[in-house]
A and B are shown apart, each in its own frame.
Chain A
Amino acid sequence: MRPETEAELAHMIADATGPLRIVGGGTRSFGAGAGEALSTAGLSGVTLYEPGALTLVVRAGTPLAEVEDVLAAEGQRLAFEPMDHRSLLGTSGAPTIGGMVAANVSGPRRIAVGACRDFLLGVRFVDGMGRVLKNGGRVMKNVTGYDLTRLMAGSYGTLGVISEVSLKVLPIPRACLTLALDGLDDARAVAALSRALGSPYEVSGAAHLAAGHKHTMIRLEGFDASVAYRAEQMRALLAEFGDWQLEEDCTVWQEIRDVTALQGGGDVWRVSARPTDGPMLAARATGADVVYDWGGGLIWLRVPVGTDVRAALGDFAGHATLVRAAPEVKARLGMFHPATPPVAAIEAGLRARFDPRGILNPGLMTPREGAA
């Protein structure tokens, strides 16, 4: 199925008799996958772009690359730095705006500016009964009624098929500098990142590659003189950790964003935790290859196929998502972290309202029941 309009999309869902697998560009195919494919590729195009108001309205099937080009022509971008999953998951195709929103995909700059959901101003979507619904709008501040807009971000197509979104965009800063240092162990690295993030110098990236050279990185962005000033202040502030090198090339952040260090074999887990817990949690996953982002609060782990990382981590504040694994491993361990009974009940209730027939990406986010 490949609707060309929102109305067609609505008809197709209303008429569907079995499960549907919602596909954008297919680059973030996280699993599940029963049901007939429903492609959003036909719902494409930028419907409104006002650079002076920092707003973009775009149909869900629009390739991300196309949007990035349109924005770059005006010196703007999607500031939350959406990760490209292709290298990590070994997928091909072209990521779409709808897929990015449905998975709430954000990158290293998330710690400074917010996640994809924080830039989402409004959505149009078709629910599991084929009803065309909208929420939010295209203005920066909006508290009119419940925030279903953000609810749709990160719902992985299980509550509705997004047809159009409005996003806040931001100007691309003129300058970028990276401070880098090799050789810190995990705990020292996260301590350095915490100190950096606790300074007034507006860090927009804070990562540590635990393997190899033990490479710690801090990113500063803004106007030229300002970035140069902040970099010097930061070097002084973090002098006790070592002699930080200044690198003008910021493309390295694309590798952090896409976690290229963990491409290839093995299962990959993504853990969101309290930043200062990061090293302790990574240590519990004995032998894992580790990449820290978000100042230690985002921990990427590569482990041998079939490892139950949640069991290894035990009880902790946060959640672990199984991002890359064979279908049978995902089926056994579950992609998403189990929820507490009250939360699982709320989620089940919401699904029953948005998709009463349970036909939208069934099983992708469920079951989530089970103690956390």
Chain B
Amino acid sequence: MEMPVPDAAIISGKDRIVARLVAALPPGTVISDPAETLAYECDGLAAYSCAPLAVILPRTTAEVSAALKICHEMSVPVVPRGAGTSLAGGATPTADCVILGIARMTEVLEVDLDSRIIRVETGRTNLAVTGAVEEHGFFYAPDPSSQLACAIAGNIAMNSGGAHCLKYGVTTNNLLGVTMVMMDGTVTEIGGAYLDAGGLDLLALICGSEGQLGVVTEATLRILPKPEGARPVLIGYDSNEVAGACVSDIIKAGVLPVAIEFMDRPCIRATEAFANAGYPDCEALLIVEVEGSPAEIDEQFAIILEIARRHDPVELRQSASPEESARIWLGRKSAFGAMGQMGDYMCLDGTIPVSQLPFVLRRIGELSDEFGLKVGNVFHAGDGNMHPLILYDANAPGQLELCEAMGAEILKLCVEVGGCLTGEHGVGIEKRDLMTYQYAPEDLEIQMAVKDVFDPGWLLNPAKVFPLGASAARRVAAE
């Protein structure tokens, strides 16, 4: 992945920049010792790393504002950072940037159960948001698998999804308001503890903007009452086509499962070897989870099972207890770990129309043969969000490049069948140069024009999302 040539003038001005930041911020807020900034040199896309100029770890919105104002005046690029779990390289530094991490801002500012909202500082982890309301029977719905570590700030910046988004939606559907600091230090409030912020839908722009429009320091989120219970059913099929048809039929029948997960044979075999969950050795495996009281779950199971049987399954197993549920989920939950045991992997997340599932899985199999790299598929089938895991050997020369080339082919395929490059992980640096497959030049131009409005100097996370060639003029003009 190419990165822009760092600005030598900024790098040589490091001492001056750090001195101004240190003078303006409380002790311990600015880190510039290379031994300490090391921890910030990459995010979840660990194949790419680069030490930043310095790291700022503010404790308040006012400190964020003061820091940004200085960086703005000195034209220093800023890369906002939450917990650094981005899989797309959204938080990857450049040598001439300052990392602005909000991990120290973790407070719960308000809980209003009657209005069903929580307001938090955005350094709080996703799981800790639910943690703050759980005892009252509420939860925060978007639940990325990284929820123990990832911050709400990163969730907002990436518009993250989770296992339950088929029913509850992704971050943008659960975000009501933000406090955001603009690059010039201006603090602004958008939305709040009410539905549909007034005026243009700026929240929609901010959510998913990958830290390029402003630094979000506080968020008002919708919380929901916990369902009475949830149980999965496991269904195995001998062909991907049939499994795909079963998914469509379940969706059409009016059942609204919280999750429909799909695993293909390579992935089933890998997880069986690793976790021994007792999955059948079949072509395609579905896990469908529904919620409600025991009787309500049974009512939905009856419908799902009837549909599943119509398609002649090789395995059909419904959970009747928490233990059985855990066993059904065990393999799915260890899928990434199991694939990781087999080697290094790259995880893509292109989304496709559900009707294209069988075709796309077949093509991925063919690409796997062509490139000579193993692929396992485990993904959210209900909404067509694929997660092909391509195995490679990071230590073998050329393998990373081969893997990336194959990844690019898969993502182009997703776009060709009417889908998109990324369903929940974001563009970052990883898919930046593939954007031209999904968008015409003028479609990218209008998006960059939006960034012009929020950040005219192109200082916020400038090397992400847009192909470097497309954003070059703006980034250069800004210097």
Binding site for B on A (CB under 8 A): 50-55, 74-75, 104, 106, 110-111, 114-115, 117-118, 127, 131-135, 137-151, 153-155, 159, 170-174, 191, 194, 197-200, 222-223, 225-226, 229, 272-276, 294, 297-298, 317-319, 321, 336-337, 339-340, 342-343, 346-347, 349-350, 352-354, 365, 368
Contact = CB atoms under 8 A, between A and B. Distances in A.
Nearest to B88: A143
A274 B112 contact: yes
B420 interface: yes
Contacts of A132: 442
B114 A276 contact: yes
B446 A133 contact: yes
Contact of B431 (A115, A144, A272, A275): A144
B200 interface: yes
B359 interface: no
Given A115-B196, A226-B292, A354-B446, A143 B385 contact: no
B195 A145 contact: no
Contacts of B463: none
A146 B296 contact: no
Contacts, number: 264
B113 interface: yes
A276 B115 CA distance: 6
Interface residues of B, number: 94
B310 interface: no
Contacts of A55: 353
Given A171-B254, A194-B115, A297-B195, A151 B293 contact: no
Contacts of B169: 114, 118
A74 B251 CA distance: 12
A104 B196 contact: yes
A131 B442 CA distance: 8
Interface of B: 112-117, 137-138, 158-159, 161, 165-166, 169-170, 172-173, 182, 186-190, 192-202, 204-205, 207-209, 225-228, 248-249, 251-254, 256, 292-293, 295-296, 299-300, 303, 351-355, 380, 382-385, 418-427, 431, 435, 438-440, 442-444, 446-447, 449-454, 465
Contacts of A114: 169, 173
Contact of A337 (B190, B199, B201, B204): B199
Contact of A139 (B197, B226, B423): B423
Nearest to B189: A340
Contacts of B382: 140
Given A145-B427, A198-B113, A115 B443 contact: no
A205 B439 CA distance: 39
Given A144-B435, A145-B444, A342 B188 contact: yes
Contact of B199 (A145, A194, A198, A336): A336
9 contacts: A53-B251, A132-B442, A141-B161, A147-B204, A153-B204, A171-B256, A297-B194, A297-B195, A340-B189
